[in-house]
Structure 1
């Protein structure tokens, strides 16, 4: 588990990299109330649960940036301990129960037995103590891809934007023109000093990607 430096008013952000695809599950918590959200619990539920205990935080929501299997497969196990509201965009909901994906992984479907309590849409807000996260629809890697914005500090970009990279669009439902549009119009318009926490790989910033990302330029 890696954790960002935490000053008195800044959020607690812990990254647990899990599974065969090295997916980043994030814990985002208010330093004052210790209320938290779990973003993309993809695998290795015990490691995620141990990190929650270690940080002494209290989950209030489980949120998905999108529905690909490497981001969802620990939802049920985590939910057994923390049966808090679960949310995903409606366009990716089918991935919870997609039989072909389950067969490909050698698992019995559905990959997620829980039904979501909320279907995400642009502008939805989640309050976590003194902090909030806003939903920004950023499709392209998947039809229902979203990012979660904490305006003062950071954005969780899922598999839309990476350090010097972007999400692949050759999977079912992927759309290259759509992901470029999402990045240019939704992410590159954010403050340049905003930290970006992606679904895979190391953190970056809006400034870094606006000027150095070889896949999506400013124009």
Structure 2
């Protein structure tokens, strides 16, 4: 698997472009900002975009969805509980000075439990609420990879002080990931650096109550 990470926008959000090594089909996860940069990368790789996968719909993760969907024709997969946010992005931006972002009507919804076959990957959708009500994680078990959005970070966890956030629910979501996937699983998070479940189990101060 080839994963290209693009850290975009003023909030430094991580967007991931994923394909099999050398393949001509790909998926993109959480295109949050800088659509021209992301479209340039897609064009430079010469790939067809099979899907735009959203872990959740906070503005820093969806700001480039509409222009990329328009340019590529790729369908958008959005958490079912958060469709209304994607349909009216600017109404849910909590602070002034961000945007404007274009809204989008997603072609597909996910809520956890689905298995997607995209770009040659088998992708399991795991419901991981807590940071936001409908948050999902995309798991590619064959590649030992999790695209975790804002659930789990390197030495940290997603914030829960935004509307719909819930610390106890988030911790249950993280515990579910730790119990379901092996320590070797790489975590590709929505902010900060790439890590692994094992590294976070061993060193993340927020997880000590789960692992101690």
Shared fold, TM over 0.5: yes
Q: Which residue of 1 aligns with 2:116?
A: 126
Residues 146 and 30 of structure 1: CA distance in aligned 2, closer, same or farther (over 3 Å): same
| Residue pair 2:53, 2:77 contacting (<8 A) in 1 also | yes
Q: Deviations over 1:20-61 (max 9, x none)?
A: 000001001123642111110100001101111222221000
Q: Deviations over 1:159-202 (max 9, x none)?
A: 00001110000000000000000001234431111111000010
Aligned length: 208
Q: Which residue of 1 aligns with 2:141?
A: 151
Q: Which residue of 1 aligns with 2:15?
A: 25
SS in 1 for 2:6: strand
Instruction: Tell me which protein shows more helix as a share of its residues.
Output: 2
| Residue pair 1:76, 1:113 contacting (<8 A) in 2 also | yes
Q: Cα RMSD between the aligned structures?
A: 1.9
How much does 1:113 deviate?
A: 2.8
Which ranges of 4 or more aligned residues in structure 1 deviate by more than 6 Å? none
Matches within 5 A, 1:57-72: 57-72=47-62
Residues 212 and 58 of structure 1: CA distance in aligned 2, closer, same or farther (over 3 Å): same
Q: Which residue of 1 aligns with 2:128?
A: 138
Q: Identify unmatched segments of 5+ residues in structure 1.
A: 1-10
CA distance in 2, matches of 1:120, 1:52: 24
The answer as to 2:181 corresponding to 1:190 is yes
CA distance in 2, matches of 1:50, 1:107: 23
How much does 1:105 deviate?
A: 3.9
| Residue pair 1:29, 1:128 contacting (<8 A) in 2 also | no
Q: TM-score, normalised by structure 1?
A: 0.88
Q: Deviations over 1:44-89 (max 9, x none)?
A: 0011011112222210001100010000011111112112111111
| Residue pair 1:39, 1:64 contacting (<8 A) in 2 also | yes
CA distance in 1, matches of 2:98, 2:11: 17
SS in 2 for 1:172: coil
Q: Which residue of 2 aligns with 1:49?
A: 39
How much does 1:123 deviate?
A: 2.0
How much does 1:128 deviate?
A: 2.8
Residues 95 and 129 of structure 1: CA distance in aligned 2, closer, same or farther (over 3 Å): closer
SS in 2 for 1:215: helix
CA distance in 1, matches of 2:94, 2:187: 33
Q: Which residue of 1 aligns with 2:160?
A: 169
